[in-house]
Amino acid sequence: MYTITLLPGDGIGPEVIAGAVHVLQAVQEQHTGVRFVLREAPFGGSACDQTGTPLPEETLQLCLSGDAVLLGAVGGPKWDSLPVHLRPEVGALLPLRKHLEVFANLRPSVIFPALADASTLKREVVEGLDVMVVRELTGGIYFGTKHRETLPDGGVKVVETLEYTTAEIVRVARVAFDLARQRRGKLTSVDKANVLESSRLWREVVSEMAGEYPDVELNHMLVDNCAMQLVRYPKQFDVLLTENMFGDILSDQASQLTGSIGMLPSASLGGKVGLYEPIHGSAPDIAGQDVANPIATILSVAMMLRFSFNLPEAANSVERAVSRVLEEGYRTADIMQPGMRQVGTKEMAELIGVRL
Amino acid sequence: MYTITLLPGDGIGPEVIAGAVHVLQAVQEQHTGVRFVLREAPFGGSACDQTGTPLPEETLQLCLSGDAVLLGAVGGPKWDSLPVHLRPEVGALLPLRKHLEVFANLRPSVIFPALADASTLKREVVEGLDVMVVRELTGGIYFGTKHRETLPDGGVKVVETLEYTTAEIVRVARVAFDLARQRRGKLTSVDKANVLESSRLWREVVSEMAGEYPDVELNHMLVDNCAMQLVRYPKQFDVLLTENMFGDILSDQASQLTGSIGMLPSASLGGKVGLYEPIHGSAPDIAGQDVANPIATILSVAMMLRFSFNLPEAANSVERAVSRVLEEGYRTADIMQPGMRQVGTKEMAELIGVRL
Ligand SMILES: CC(C)[C@H](C(=O)O)[C@@H](O)C(=O)O
Ligand SMILES: CC(C)[C@H](C(=O)O)[C@@H](O)C(=O)O
């Protein structure tokens, strides 16, 4: 029995979560002995509207007491002018990550053969792409001190800090080394060691750990060069490891290489409870219309089955079902191509469910 | 009479500078009344080898007393294990930028029609691309305090600061607004205002300035989204304005979209003396072989003629000569295509010189 806390959130969040729940139920029917207990909680902008805070205490407690959290999406223009601490990002998402202690954010960028032409990059450059970004998620400048003061000239000065410790680097690097070992054995650690002191520490710590992983080929790359290499020759990468801010930028760049962001899941690991969410946003413009692509959330469920519940068979069956549906020509609007059959959020989830 | 300080630097630096000098001399012959006084100074790794410091005091004084600086490239594995303050980047490049007070780094990403197929992106996505990145160059985390301490657990903690003031933001934003006004009238200011306090200040200051530029259409974009949009639909951008670290990453990503980094120049402006350099690195692997592409440095000369010397005619003629040479089918190795004629560094510079 696995207890999953559902945080539908804002925009298209509730719809893609409903799609994922449908698939979870199908998994339960297929796998005797596996049972999911689902409970839903308010989170993000909609929670702020309802309760006055984007991360209600009961929501946090529910998340901490379950086995895994499945998040839809948060945010939208509606909440962008609230005081910072009430906005969905700073008021809900960052503290949730911190409380769950999910320091390792895994973001696969994979090209589905059926969608290789959706990329803006030439087919030969991205065909077969399979990169895993491991992003440090609970440290760095996201969680440093922030200070604002008025200057004698009437202007403002802001000072904020970027902090990292050896221990914070070791634990996330270990996740990346372990993943590289299970994959193609290549780890690229990204930093800006020619300028940042924190990056020099990062490079020292990661280099030292390499001795424990003789089967993993480690190399270091500067972040600006990495942003270039992701355009020039993305297939050179297997696992990319990096600190929080660089990982935010590079993982979004990497996922856009696939041309189908609506397909890409993520897992945030490290604490007792894992956090799973699609990498796409809340897309308020298409919310409530049954057009959003639920596949990224459904593949986040597959990651949950694999990483939190140790059910690799069930995870594989979800991933296979997604591939089959695509091969049979079903598409949501965001990945629609001529000659394919367009379906809505709900129908896509149902098609995947019956193919498990 | 214009005095130019030449800093050939390391790797292919001396060769591409020699190519640019050839073109400067050709410009002088074509434009009566225009005279360039050139003086060369040691800088970077090679300066450290010769003098024990990567930025000798005489070099700095020469730079400060001239009208413009033309830099080749610095760095290489040879100097990567020196103490940080002796390395070419931290010991020479960053202090030179700071002393020259060149707070605005302009990096055009342009596709040359003759080279549209060199990009890894589909032709229709990049054809006609013309983006100008304006990067803040003398502030932010590059120049913050850096602190390293040993923790009770034996580990290390690093704390570094990211600082920005209203005045620093205003002066670089003004450069970007002015450029947007002369170009297609669109300015995209990039930040991470949903997380960073410095980005919130950045957004406030830039928004407030927009009132002075009713003819410029300003929008704000988060840095992670910008990294995606540069892959998804790069032609949406005209001028991109951003702080130092984000600008480092995004400008390299943007330049790689063109597929021909060997073609792209840069200008760093704001102080009395402008600094001009190709955006490519020192490429030690091909140094001394007369194969490097001198065009990025030659186009940096064009930017110098335009921005430091106010000689737009001369600048245009250099740019036109580069286009003509490409259209006639001449290529250096890095941009070689079937059916074209491959030439070396020197010959490429000469071909451009005679077409002025
Ligand atoms: C919403 C924002 C705070 C968040 C981040 O920057 O971490 C998002 O961009 C992400 O990558 O999950
Ligand atoms: C060499 C390095 C310090 C430099 C920077 O990061 O500014 C370089 O990458 C650049 O963009 O000019």
Same fold, A1-103+261-356 and A130-257: yes
B160 contacts A160? CB cut-off 8 A: no
The set of protein residues with a Cβ atom below 6 angstroms from ligand 2 is A 194-195, 224; B 89, 93, 248
Q: Which residues of B touch A223 (CB under 8 A)?
A: 248-249
**Which pLDDT tens digit goes with each residue over A259-292?**
999 999 999 999 999 999 999 999 999 999 999 9
**A35-50: average pLDDT:** 97
**Which pLDDT tens digit goes with each residue over B301-315?**
999 999 999 999 999
Whole-structure pTM over 0.85, yes or no? yes
DSSP-assigned states of every residue in B73-119: E---GGGTTS-GGGSHIIIIIHHHHHHHT--EEEEEEE--GGGGGGS
| Domain-wise residue ranges, chain A | 1-103+261-356, 130-257
**Chain position carrying tokens 């006639």:** B328
**Which pLDDT tens digit goes with each residue over A286-297?**
999 999 999 999
Cα-only R_g, chain B: 20
**Which pLDDT tens digit goes with each residue over B236-254?**
999 999 999 999 999 999 9
Q: Best residue in B228, B230, B258, B279 to probe A by mutation, most A CBs within 10 Å?
A: B228
Going by pLDDT thresholds of 50, 70 and 90, the confidence category of residue A153 is very high
pLDDT reported for residue A45 = 97
The alpha carbon of residue B57 is apart from the nearest alpha carbon of chain A, in Å, by 22
The alpha carbon of residue B242 is apart from the nearest alpha carbon of chain A, in Å, by 14
Going by pLDDT thresholds of 50, 70 and 90, the confidence category of residue A182 is very high
Print burial letters for B313-324: b (CB count within 10 Å at least 16), e (below 16). Answer: ebbebbbebbee
The architecture of the domain spanning B1-102+262-356 is 3-Layer(aba) Sandwich (3.40)
Pairing of strands A239-242, A265-269: unpaired
Type and span of the H or E element at B352: helix B345-354
The architecture of the domain spanning A1-103+261-356 is 3-Layer(aba) Sandwich (3.40)
Q: Which CATH number fits domain B130-257: 3.40.50.11860, 3.90.870.10, 3.40.718.10, 3.40.1790.10?
A: 3.40.718.10
By the 8 A CB rule, do A120 and B231 touch? yes
Lowest mean pLDDT among A37-46, A77-86, B47-56, B95-104: A77-86
